[in-house]
Structure 1
């Protein structure tokens, strides 16, 4: 026996490792929405509702109470429950939930049972949100060649027919909503296995749902187009003012600051607009990619005399997706232009501020020179005034000494003390000024 065999025998059934907290959830996610095998003729009616994050938990609790099933971590976003005569399949996605009722075709044709009349109208389930898509798929067993009477219920102007799954099924639709607001599909089974039929049914339902969701981006693009066009127009006006002010008399600092405030306001509006449409445009790209992948998986082939489903969708989806991409590009380009304009105007404001600072410094320098001259004048006057008082005191002293018999004449003594007093005062004031 090899060392590898010894190691395998020694390894217990449960791995003796610390497990990542999300490992089991990831393993369960691969099987979260399994294909349900279908055999025979069926009618499936599916509604898709936009659901907020706050509504998701309440929606799951209501379904658990309705079906009597309690969800675990592996199935909290998916439920498939069989009732008497029909089954309910519920799926919760990032921003919408789908409710699909599956009934045998004979039972479905014998009554007018619908999701809305039997689940929501009777109060068994509360409406989770706003309806965004409704699709009815009828599965029939039919042999080739096809007869045109199978297509009588569809609008001939938009009728699309494709062979799918290597020609072993035919898919028919006109993408038009009937009086009940439901888009009808017809799937003719030419020999699919139950699992293949279940997978095809799932993909057809997703095709209509994701097609509708992807087109939400078109209307967001139209909404953002108005905002982007307004910002572009205002930016042109501001840049025109910048150009005219550069070639003619320079604008004042206040005018430049006003233009800078206007540009900053436009930049804020553009960023808010871009953030508002960021999720929808991203979701549109994802939904459009899912539609493309579902069509690739179905493996369409043309039916003589009819338009293909994929070709019909591409004629309508491709311009919508291009519009969304164009608006995103305009937002990005406009953001760069606004950044350059703000930088240019900010540089102009900085230059104007530097010019004002230079003038202010020059004015302060001139004022300092005046103050120095004034100070020098005051110093001279101060020396003269102090000298006058000192010499006066000396004169009083000499007069008193004369009275006591001093031979020095007071007038001569005062005159002789003038140079000495002035020199000493000048010397001490210079020393004091140097010390300060």
Structure 2
């Protein structure tokens, strides 16, 4: 039996990653439990297992007395001398208990305890493994829908993608492989409960870390992210190496790097802009792909007045205000966007008297038919002041506010 037990423990250690020492301790406890059931008492029951051979011995420690009143706790001097002739009254004698004496019920109980300990250790090992991956991205396989939630197999455990953490309109098929962000890992009696997300802004950050070597190595930093999952994301990046273009590194040759992330997110658009500690420059970059004439930022009030060319107003605001809203979240500023005409009429244009030509603001941005139509529609109407409130930056660690510096770059839109 010892050889079989040793072989079984070695297999469990290799396949289940459960230490042999932990299992031996569980077996010792189970044998003590078996003795409890057999003798009705356990205070004087001891078990020893050789960790090298798994040979075990179970014995009772009995006190040598003249007259035995409790045969479980005491032994007569005559019986003690049968074990060793040197024992005297008051000595403690170890009396070996043969395993066959435990009885069928006691043996089964010991087996159950061992199996329970193995299950507990398996759950603990799995919990520790996925708990260490909390706030990280993993690849899982879609299993099935549970109501409106989705069960995702991560290999050794299943995760739950709740409806609130799914991208609107995204539909999954069984056996489909997807990447998810581990929100939380909870320990339960039935094993770890793993909650994952497809909408969290950190999912985008982790995808860039895995796709862009410079981000993974810390050469390029992702300073801030604002996201409306399934539609558009803006990220602000900064390079710690003056020889590395942060935007170019994230975009990759011919857009290969960012396109891989866009594909994983089912076509979600990603604007990559250069981070700047000067809030005015940061806001200008954040409103990309729209061109900006001027930005007056109040760092104390966390507010900014932005003037854009008349024909760029609708692009700066974005469809249903999305571009301005994401820019506000990214920078942490409340942004008031006006066209040049509106700014002049309201007296907010200040001293920016230099005329501009539309050609000065042309770029190679590929406007969609929908965006061009929206531009024309809004350009033909009188636009009121548009204010976009930043979300509470203190409530979301992914939002960042600028301080002061001097640099500018444009983000790419995928």
TM-score of the two chains, using structure 2 as the length reference:
0.24
Pick the structure with more strand per residue. 2
Larger Rg: 1
Pick the structure with more helix per residue. 1
